[in-house]
């Protein structure tokens, strides 16, 4: 199996200059090729083949001499990534590819021709010094490709794609059903309620203050760039806190249970609710389910998804009675058939577990 190992690194002055050139040249080739493809479509309705764009690199480097200062491997890889982006667009898995901005996240992908991994050190083309990586894990094998990125907060990361052998965990008899929520991030069928940290709400006043200060700075000034960095660092802190919490919770669920039953929610559709959009995005249900799926695959566990239209909250887990409708503010109800008093969320988790396990038989 393949796995990406992401680590932070701290480039020296020479490496920072080199990476700035790599990011800028790669971004230029991407935008230039995307414009060429878009113009061709609007002029004659045709599509440009990948081979045509690769041949364009030669006259492009002759026209813009500064493109020769960096390795041409990154240009070829950028065109391959763009071709994959168009393939996803044509097959309706993604939106139309976007132009890249120098103010956004910067990234380049390098194949083995443009980097070397030797004795636990990583070297990139045209740099004699290894990257100063703060290793948290030892790589299981030599990377087949690496992606170097710089986020808006000015932090550098390298993601290394390696082959690794997954080791299934010992089989356990424990199973769990979870119901995702906003007041609590999720509730288990046993009644355990895991709190939702609400990271965005925790920092929203400070974020609003910094954004107001940013709006007052003159565009192009050094003070505006300093303030932009402060806003970016706070956004990064929120994202890192959220990701760290989700990783811990998903790992615990996978470690403790052989089968995890969840609802297959359409998060993109739910975010259209303007009153709840910010809270749903902050909870990151989609990312949580994604983490559960790949960790379950590595550990030999099973994720059982229940159809989103299954009435988990409105169905009594004791007798099967189903309410026609139930408002969101009703957090507990009594079944009119069997007179069982039910907690809405725990009842939903129990129903999800029952249906999820039934689907595995």
Q: Give the 3-state secondary structure of residue 92.
A: coil
Cβ atoms within 10 Å of 113's Cβ, excluding its own? 12
Residue 71 has pLDDT above 90, yes or no: no
What value, to the nearest 5°, has the Cα angle with vertex 106 and ends 105 and 110? 140
Distance of CA 228 to the CA centre of its chain: 23
Q: Does the annotation count 7 as an active-site position? A: no
Question: If you average pLDDT over residues 63-77, what whole number do you get?
Answer: 91
pTM over 0.85: yes
Structure tokens at 79: 């065109």
Confirm if 140 and 165 have CB atoms less than 8 A apart.
yes
Q: Does the annotation count 282 as an active-site position? A: no
Q: Regarding predicted confidence, which is higher, 132 or 328?
A: 132
Model pLDDT for residues 161-188, shown as the tens digit of each residue: 999 998 899 999 999 999 999 999 999 9
- b/e sequence 299-315, b meaning 16+ C-beta within 10 Å: bebbbbbbeeebebbbb
pLDDT grade for 47, boundaries at 50, 70 and 90: confident
pLDDT grade for 246, boundaries at 50, 70 and 90: very high
Quickly list DSSP for 144-194: SEEEEEE-TTS-EEEEEEEE----PPPP-S-EEEEEE-SSEEEEETTS-EE
Structure tokens at 216: 């007052």
pLDDT grade for 361, boundaries at 50, 70 and 90: low
Question: If you average pLDDT over residues 301-324, what whole number do you get?
Answer: 91
Sign of CA dihedral 164, 170, 173, 176: negative
Nearest to 21 by CA among 153, 124, 123, 121: 124
Residues in a beta bridge with 7: 158
User: Could you tell me where the DSSP H helices lie in 45-167?
Assistant: 50-63, 73-90
- Annotated catalytic residue, options 17, 84, 165, 179: 179
Sign of CA dihedral 130, 131, 134, 139: negative
By the 10 Å C-beta count (0-12 exposed, 13-18 middle, 19+ buried), 45 is classed as exposed
pLDDT at residue 274 in the model: 86
Name the residue with tokens 């990125």. 149
- Annotated catalytic residue, options 65, 297, 307, 345: 345
Beta-strand pair 302-306/259-263: parallel
Confirm if 109 and 77 have CB atoms less than 8 A apart.
yes
Structure tokens at 67: 């493109």
Question: If you average pLDDT over residues 249-270, what whole number do you get?
Answer: 93
- Annotated catalytic residue, options 138, 263, 282, 337: 263
Cβ atoms within 10 Å of 286's Cβ, excluding its own? 16
Model pLDDT for residues 82-129, shown as the tens digit of each residue: 999 999 999 999 999 999 999 889 999 999 889 999 988 999 988 889
Q: Does the annotation count 151 as an active-site position? A: no
């Amino acid at each position: 199996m393949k796995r990406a190992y992401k680590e932070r690194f701290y480039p020296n002055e020479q490496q920072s200059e080199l990476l700035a050139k790599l990011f800028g040249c790669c971004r230029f080739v991407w935008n230039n090729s995307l414009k060429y493809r878009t113009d061709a479509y609007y002029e004659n309705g045709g599509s440009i083949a990948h081979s045509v764009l690769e041949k364009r690199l030669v006259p492009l480097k002759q026209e813009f001499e500064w493109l020769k200062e960096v390795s041409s491997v990154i240009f070829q890889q950028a065109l391959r990534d763009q071709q994959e982006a168009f393939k996803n667009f044509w097959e309706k898995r993604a939106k139309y590819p976007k132009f890249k901005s120098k103010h956004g996240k910067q990234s380049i992908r390098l194949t083995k021709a443009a980097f070397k991994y030797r004795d636990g050190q990583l070297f990139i083309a045209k740099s004699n010094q290894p990257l100063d990586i703060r290793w948290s894990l030892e790589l299981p094998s030599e990377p087949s490709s690496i992606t170097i990125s710089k986020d808006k907060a000015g932090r550098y990361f390298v993601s290394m794609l390696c082959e690794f052998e997954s080791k299934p965990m010992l089989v356990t008899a424990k199973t769990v059903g979870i119901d995702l929520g906003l007041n609590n991030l999720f509730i288990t069928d046993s009644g355990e309620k895991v709190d939702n940290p609400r990271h965005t709400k925790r920092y929203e006043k400070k974020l609003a203050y910094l954004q107001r200060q940013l709006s007052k700075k003159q565009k192009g000034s050094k003070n505006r760039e300093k303030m932009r960095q402060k806003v970016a660092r706070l956004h990064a802190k929120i994202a890192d806190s959220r990701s760290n919490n989700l990783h811990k919770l998903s790992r615990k669920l996978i470690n403790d249970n052989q089968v995890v039953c969840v609802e297959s929610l359409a998060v993109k559709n739910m975010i259209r609710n303007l009153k709840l959009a910010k809270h749903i995005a902050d909870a990151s249900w989609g990312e949580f389910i994604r983490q559960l799926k790949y960790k379950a695959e590595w550990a030999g566990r099973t994720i059982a998804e229940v159809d989103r239209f299954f009435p988990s909250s409105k169905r009594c887990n004791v007798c099967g009675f189903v309410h026609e409708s139930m408002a969101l503010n009703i957090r507990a109800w009594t079944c009119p058939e069997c007179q069982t008093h039910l907690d809405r969320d725990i009842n939903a988790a129990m129903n999800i577990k029952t249906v999820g396990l039934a689907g595995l038989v």
